[in-house]
Amino acid sequence: MSAVLAVAKVSLLRAVRRPSTWWLSALAFVPALLGGWMGALGHGAMSVGAPLLIDVAAPLLAVPWVAGALGEVFERRVAVYWFTRPVPRWAPLLGEWLGATAALSLVLVLGGAMLAVADALTGSATIGSLFRLPAAMITEAAALAGLCIGVAALAPKHPVSVSIAVLAVTEAALPGLWAPMQSISLSRQVGTLAGVDPGASIGSLAGTAPSPSTLTAALVIALFCAVPMGLGARAVIDRDLG
């Protein structure tokens, strides 16, 4: 367990030292700014900002931050330094996940909270919505971190393009084709948890979505995280690394 925490700590430290982390983080605050502006013009801060944060900003923040960085570690064989220590091989993966989730959550929660505040200032938000969006962002951070780490372990040469391709399929292509497929969309389920109307985010071509439920949402989000992580861990344990 201490190994997992040690890896998480170093993962955070490395993220902080990368200049790209800082300007990527700026991405998380664009929705709040844009939402606030639109809210001030009377168009509803949440209906503009939340889909932008959940659908666009969060994935595009997570993919280079987590998949890109970890993919490099695997591709350049640096991971061998972890795997020649007396710890099980899944421990560094879990540590990376913990570190990535913490860092992503921090940024996304801040972004979400700012958006909620902007909404409260310009509209008629309830006190509950101030907490619902940030809480939902934590689940999205954990799910995206899991997906990215799994993909980085499975496809270390193309972690970013594969992650984006997976997300393009689950978030845009399939839901756009057939409405029931919206259930497998991560952003749609996070939106359910956050209590945000998904209408604006998904192409209108597909018609109406199935009615949302918190239980389904939690299940889909958990699967989003666990399936790639599990496959990635199996690949790291079973395969030759050299």
Binding-site residue total for another protein (CB under 8 A)? 60
Taking phi over 0 as left and psi of -120 to 50 as alpha, with beta for the rest, 134 belongs to: alpha
CB atoms within 10 A of CB 227: 13
Q: Is residue 168 a contact residue for another protein (CB under 8 A)?
A: yes
Pick 151 or 215: Cβ nearer another protein? 151
Q: Is residue 161 a contact residue for another protein (CB under 8 A)?
A: yes
Given 110, 158, 184, 226, the residue binding another protein (CB under 8 A): 158
Site string for another protein, 71-110 (x = CB under 8 A): xxx--xxx-xxxxxxxxxx---------------------
Calpha distance 158→190 (Å, rounded): 26
Shortest Å, Cβ 213 to another protein: 26
**Nearest-5° Cα angle at 130, 129 to 134:** 100
Q: Is residue 226 a contact residue for another protein (CB under 8 A)?
A: no
Calpha distance 127→239 (Å, rounded): 50
Calpha distance 111→85 (Å, rounded): 38
DSSP character for 123?
S
Q: Where are the alpha helices (DSSP H) in 18-89?
A: 19-25, 30-40, 45-51, 58-62, 69-75, 80-83
Map tokens 């439920």 to a residue.
Answer: 213
Q: Is residue 200 a contact residue for another protein (CB under 8 A)?
A: yes
Provide the token pair at 52.
């932008």
Q: Do residues 72 and 65 touch, judged by C-beta distance below 8 A? A: no
Q: What part of residues 14-43 is at the interface with another protein (CB under 8 A)?
A: 14, 17-18, 20, 27, 30, 34, 38, 41, 43
Q: Is residue 234 a contact residue for another protein (CB under 8 A)?
A: no
Binding residues for another protein (CB under 8 A): 2-3, 6-7, 10, 13-14, 17-18, 20, 27, 30, 34, 38, 41, 43-44, 47-48, 51-52, 55-57, 60, 63-64, 67-69, 71-73, 76-78, 80-89, 158-162, 164-165, 168, 172-173, 200, 240-242
